[in-house]
Amino acid sequence: MQAIVRACIAEGWPARVAAIIANRANAEGLAFAQENGIVTAVVPSQGKTREAFDTELAAEIDRHQPDLVVLAGFMRILTPAFTEHYAGRLLNIHPSLLPAFPGLQTHARALEAGCKVVGATVHFVTAELDHGPYILQAALPVRAGDTSETLAERILPLEHIIYPRAVRWFVEDRLVVADGRVTLTPGADGTPDPQWFFGENA
């Protein structure tokens, strides 16, 4: 989230971050948002059904009338009604090269499977967990001696590159989704951008 906010400001996107919403009052991102003059809200999830929480969350989101909803460190499974409500304008990032290893413990599962390359994927969110049209992926090679912890540490900087980049493409109306695939239109200077990033030395 912080990487996206900083990129939005530094790169002068034609957009603003309308609000940062969390389900925990002690979420670190709330303090960062307040320090940067961004509206914050907390919608507690504890003790509520998924349906009840998602209804309250959607009501709070809609109060800010966003064009795009970005999930950042939000580790909850969303209901089909919620994902349908924001279809085509809800993004997430997952620490694997989807469709490989959706869900939790992605790095451990990749190591167990003997993967030679791992990475992260920014995608549109659908009702199916960690699926939806893929926007941008970043990859890096698995090193001898890598652990779940070292992979997470090495992949995180790549996430901080590709997530802001994908959000900016959405803001600039450059993402076209057809038949479950995302096409990226050329930028203002006509130069195409790759929809992948390889961090050889990350």
Domain harbouring 144, CATH code? 3.40.50.170
Going residue by residue through the chain, which has 202 residues, state the pLDDT in tens, using 9 for 90 and above. Answer: 999 999 999 999 999 999 999 999 999 899 999 999 999 999 999 999 999 999 999 999 999 999 999 999 888 889 999 999 999 999 999 999 999 999 999 999 999 999 999 999 999 999 998 889 999 999 999 999 999 999 999 999 999 999 999 999 999 999 999 999 999 999 877 777 889 988 865 4
Q: How many domains does the chain have?
A: 1
Domain that holds residue 164: 1-198
Ligand-binding annotation for 1, yes or no, is no
For residue 153, what are its two tokens? 């540490």
> Closest Cα partner for 86 from 1, 29, 21?
21
Task: Please indicate if the annotation marks 201 as binding a ligand.
Answer: no
64 catalytic residue (yes or no) = no
Which of 190, 135, 139, 133 shows the shortest CA–CA distance to 165? 135
Instruction: Exactly one of 94, 107, 123, 160 is catalytic; name it.
Output: 94
Question: b/e for 29-66, b at 16 or more Cβ within 10 A?
Answer: bbebbeeeebebeebebeeeeeeebbbebbeebeeeeb
- 121 backbone dihedrals φ, ψ, rounded to 5°: -135, 130
Question: Does the pTM exceed 0.85?
Answer: yes
154 known member of a binding site: no
> Residue 76, annotated ligand binder?
yes
